[in-house]
Amino acid sequence: MPDFADIWYVLFLRDYNTRLVVICTILLGCACGLMGGFLLLRKRSLMGDMLSHATLPGVGLAFMLAVSLGGNGKSLPILLMGAAFSGVLGCWAVLCIRNHTRIKDDAAMGIVLSVFFGAGVAVLGLIQTMPEGSAAGLESFIYGKTASMVASDFQILVIVTISVLICSLLLFKEFRLLCFDEAFAAALGWPVKFLDVLLLALVTAVTVAGLQAVGLILIIAFLITPAAAARFWTNQLDRMLLLSALIGGASGWLGASLSAFFPRLPAGALIVLVAAVCFVISMLIGTERGVLVRYLHQVQLKGRIGRQHLLRALYEILEGGRSQGELALRPVPFRQIRGRRTWSDAHLRDYIRRAYHEGLVEAPTKDDSIQLTVAGLAEAAHLTRNHRLWELYLIEYADVATSRVDRDADMVEHVLGEKMVAQLESKLQTYRSAGSLVPESPHPIIPGD
């Protein structure tokens, strides 16, 4: 096991051997995280998958071309150029299939991916029979050779990353609209197709640059995982992209450093696993869309609805028993409340306990009866009134109401406006009995047992 000093040494880039690799993967992670964010929002995450597979024939053909022209087949710029060329061709083919046939996005990507990759395998098969060609150098494009990156790889990566960063900053506004409302962007007269192609070209650039660093398959993770993780924390595009780039960079940093301690473990795989851990943590505790947060929201909502149901049930029971005028506060047997709705004993007791803590009901009496307090009656009357206004609104305006139905009873004034509320109340006048602030229910209330 490495001791603390070693860890410190590598993590903070003091070690010459690992410094380059770690910086490369951090840069790559940032760039991929950024582009991945756009891809995720355009629901094109698997485009990276398609792209990285589609580069293989380009790499092989570039190698063969370079060798047959007497050059050095393993020169990185030539191979990358080949990769970029066939990557762009693949993107174009996907868009073509999608736009001109009934084949959907996913199948179009799958077709291009498998056919291009098959062509790549065939080309590699040819190269293996060439006298110059142990395809060994090309294998690194599939599995990555993070640990053996050299200064020239570094230069290419830095150039690509910085140009991608500048491009996406300059076109941030355009890309944002492309992600959220393509049709609106087109209506504004923006060159939507050109922007789409430009975005894919930037993704291609990042993918090709990263191929060699983390390998054909693991670059896919770099394009998807950080962006999907960032999505759990925020609904704002700029923050999400920033976070996604940070998570990508951090995964690259940690993964590459870990692989420096355990030289036998491939860096690409470690980077992907670090990113996956970030994703799982974000999915669980992300503050905006995380599983835990959404669960808590649900529990809260359930409690609020339960409270409303309890108070309304109590009010309606009192209302049903009165003869004239003001409602009299009197204890209501638990069984009678229980019969008003389909709720379990346990849930109902829980709602009553909470209402007691809020000071809305008195402590349960010995014969298991519940009585509203004065404050509780006021709250119950308020809730019941709003609920009935909603009901009337839905009865009278069913044609326009559907978009507004799923609202809290509390929000009636906010959503409908004073004029509408006044109008509804006047409609309810006809039912209204003297002396009550709460209009009667527009429909008969079925009494519980």
Partner 1 sequence: MTWYAIDTWIVVVGALAATASALLGNFLVLRKMSMMGDAISHAVLPGLAIAFLVTEARASLTMFIGAAIVGVLTAVFTQWISRFGKVDEGASMGIVFTSLFALGLLLIVQAADHVDLDPGCVLYGAIELTPLDVVWRPKLFGFDLEVPRAALVLGGVTLLNLTFIIGFFKELRITSFDAELATTMGIHSNWMHYLLMTLVAVTSVAAFEAVGSIIVIAMLIVPAATAHLLTDRLWVMLLLSAVFAVASALLGHLSALVVPSWFGFADTSTSGMMAVAAGLLFLLTMLGAPRYGVLAKYFRKAESVGV
Choosing from 51, 80, 273, 409, the residue that interacts with partner 1 (CB under 8 A) is: 273
CA atoms of 392 and 306, how far apart (whole Å): 22
| Encoded amino acid at 48, one letter | G
Tokens for 336, please give them.
């009678």
Dihedral over alpha carbons 312, 316, 318, 323 (to 10 degrees):
150
> What phi and psi values does residue 440 have, to the nearest 5 degrees?
-75, 160
Question: Considering beta carbons, is residue 208 or 332 the nearer one to partner 1?
Answer: 208
Choosing from 11, 20, 115, 147, the residue that interacts with partner 1 (CB under 8 A) is: 115
What distance, in Å, lies between the first and last C-alpha atoms of the chain?
72
DSSP 360: S
Per-position x/- string for 291-330, each x denoting binding to partner 1 as judged by CB under 8 A, each - no binding: x---------------------------------------
Choosing from 156, 283, 327, 421, the residue that interacts with partner 1 (CB under 8 A) is: 283
Per-position x/- string for 95-114, each x denoting binding to partner 1 as judged by CB under 8 A, each - no binding: --x--xxxxxxxx-xxx-xx
The total of other beta-carbon atoms located within 10 Å of residue 28's CB is 26
Question: DSSP 3-state assignment of 370?
Answer: strand
Min dist CB 122 to partner 1, Å, is: 3
Min dist CB 101 to partner 1, Å, is: 6
**Is residue 119 within the footprint of partner 1 (CB under 8 A)?**
yes
| Encoded amino acid at 251, one letter | S
| Encoded amino acid at 170, one letter | L
| Encoded amino acid at 84, one letter | A
**Is residue 221 within the footprint of partner 1 (CB under 8 A)?**
yes
**Is residue 61 within the footprint of partner 1 (CB under 8 A)?**
no
CA atoms of 147 and 133, how far apart (whole Å): 23
Question: Considering beta carbons, is residue 37 or 376 the nearer one to partner 1?
Answer: 37
Question: Considering beta carbons, is residue 121 or 411 the nearer one to partner 1?
Answer: 121
CA atoms of 225 and 115, how far apart (whole Å): 26
Which positions touch partner 1 (CB under 8 A)?
40, 43-46, 48-49, 97, 100-107, 109-111, 113-115, 117-126, 129-130, 139, 142-143, 217-218, 220-221, 223-225, 227-228, 231-232, 264-266, 268-273, 276, 279, 283, 289, 291
